[in-house]
Amino acid sequence: MPFAPPPSVDPLEIRHARALSLPFGRMAPRASGLAAGRSEFGIGLHFANELRLAGAVREDAETDRLLLDYRRGVGGGWTVGGSVALVSRGGGWMDGPIDFWHGLIGSTGTPRDGVPYGRSFVTGPGYSFGSATGLSDLDLRAVREFAGGWSAGGSVKLPTGRAAGLLGSGAVDGTVDVAKRWRSGRFRFLAQAGLTFQGRATRLPGARATVPQVLLMAAWAPNSRDAYLLQIQSETSAIRTGVGASDGTHRIGSLGYRRRVGAEKWVEVHFSEDDDIGFLRGSGLLGSGPDFAWGARYVVRF
């Protein structure tokens, strides 16, 4: 199998909590294309916990997602596919483990210190949401591979998620992006840039018309079975709230591991962090994002 980008690091899980279940700024890491007639199916379970208390923006919730993803090569260098998730947002279970993790990495003096566990609210200027469970919006996409490791693609998001529960935006969004991948010995690299065109969200005011994004990835594959991945993704905030801590650039780092478990089967795990890592805090390398996100995924080709 050609090398794929970081496992399951879906942008829906690595952005501000109010947009964790929305396709705002939607640009998934670009996987390699599929040959004509080949298919790929993935099923993943992903968790993201966020706490942000800044001015009028008050967010404390965990979003869990059961994600189904399908791709198929249709010839001419094209790969098409789609994804949908069962989403549940609530108080979650990771508050305690995240406090323990923050202690290990020297993350003290953050807004999370002393905050009660198990809360579930996402509020800001003109919006307020609590817990909710249901289907997400449906994402359809197409990618064309070119010579020299280049590829270009686009996607359309259909509003199948319930906007009143922050499970979808209530609008159609679209994205375009271009990517370049290359290799050097056992190392693989990916650079990707994209632009999302957001429709008018029905329950969230202040949605930006466009959201630019950049994604950089490096990976080390010491053998044919294992790959270790490092990724940084940066994008403009999905909505304007008037609160600087919320409206700035959102940027997080992710680590991933991919293991071949069969001729055409893989298991992937990942975790993501924002600017809470002590020795990186304030460096500008990372920024706004979930306090912690992680997940696992099983992938099979046929």
Nearest to 99 by CA among 87, 75, 81, 117: 117
Tell me how far apart the alpha carbons of residues 296 and 9 are, in angstroms, rounded to a whole number: 10
Mean pLDDT of 168-185: 92
DSSP-derived pairing of the beta strands 121-124 and 210-220: unpaired
φ, ψ (nearest 5 deg) of residue 275: -90, 20
pLDDT in tens, 239-275: 888 888 788 788 888 889 999 999 999 999 998 877 6
Nearest to 291 by CA among 151, 112, 88: 112
Mean pLDDT of 187-212: 90
Question: Which DSSP state fits 199?
Answer: -
Chain mean pLDDT for the chain:
83
Q: What is the 3-state secondary structure (H, E, C) of 113-150?
A: CCCCCCCCEEEECCEEECCEEEECCEEEEEEEECHHHE
Nearest to 46 by CA among 28, 62, 25, 23: 62
